[in-house]
Amino acid sequence: MDLWTFLWNTFLIFAFVVYLMILITIFTDLFRDRALNGWYKALWIIALLVFPYLSAFIYLIARGRGMAERQHEFAKASNDAATAYIRQAAGSGPASDIAAAKALLDDGTITAEEYEALKKKALA
């Protein structure tokens, strides 16, 4: 096998991998789009299977802007969910810890010394 055959085969493999990545992106976008009717989704899938390169090219041209907007909305929703989870898991800070310790002290669950220890720990 000469150098040019190797380079050509490498290029073909690269082009095929890029095409697969584009297909995965298109399928993800199709199923993420809630405004698109199910029949239109089915038609796009059939077109992608029958005329793969042409229909992928047309999809990217026709729906590219919407793809970017849906990806942005999905990333924002994921970020908001992660931020909410981190805030919930971390608690709201020393003020809430001290308030919880004060409530335990008022209920008589802990002593004044334990309250002071929890207060120092929260402020540390």
My answer on whether 85 and 109 are in the same domain is no
Residue 123: give the domain boundaries. 92-124
My answer on whether 96 and 86 are in the same domain is no
My answer on whether 85 and 112 are in the same domain is no
My answer on whether 10 and 21 are in the same domain is yes
Count up the domains in the chain and report the number. 2
My answer on whether 9 and 32 are in the same domain is yes
What pLDDT band is residue 92 in, cutting at 50, 70 and 90? Answer: low
Alpha-carbon gap, residue 61 to 7, rounded angstroms? 30
**Helix locations, the chain, DSSP H:** 3-32, 38-50, 52-90, 94-107, 112-123
6-26 per-position pLDDT tens digit: 999 999 999 999 999 999 999
My answer on whether 16 and 75 are in the same domain is yes
Residue among 104, 105, 101, 91 at smallest CA distance from 121: 101
Residue 47 near residue 37 (C-beta atoms within 8 A): no
Alpha-carbon gap, residue 52 to 3, rounded angstroms? 30
Mean pLDDT of the chain: 90
pLDDT at 1 over 80: no
pLDDT at 122 over 70: yes
My answer on whether 53 and 24 are in the same domain is yes
Asked whether the whole model's pTM tops 0.85, one would answer: no
My answer on whether 27 and 43 are in the same domain is yes
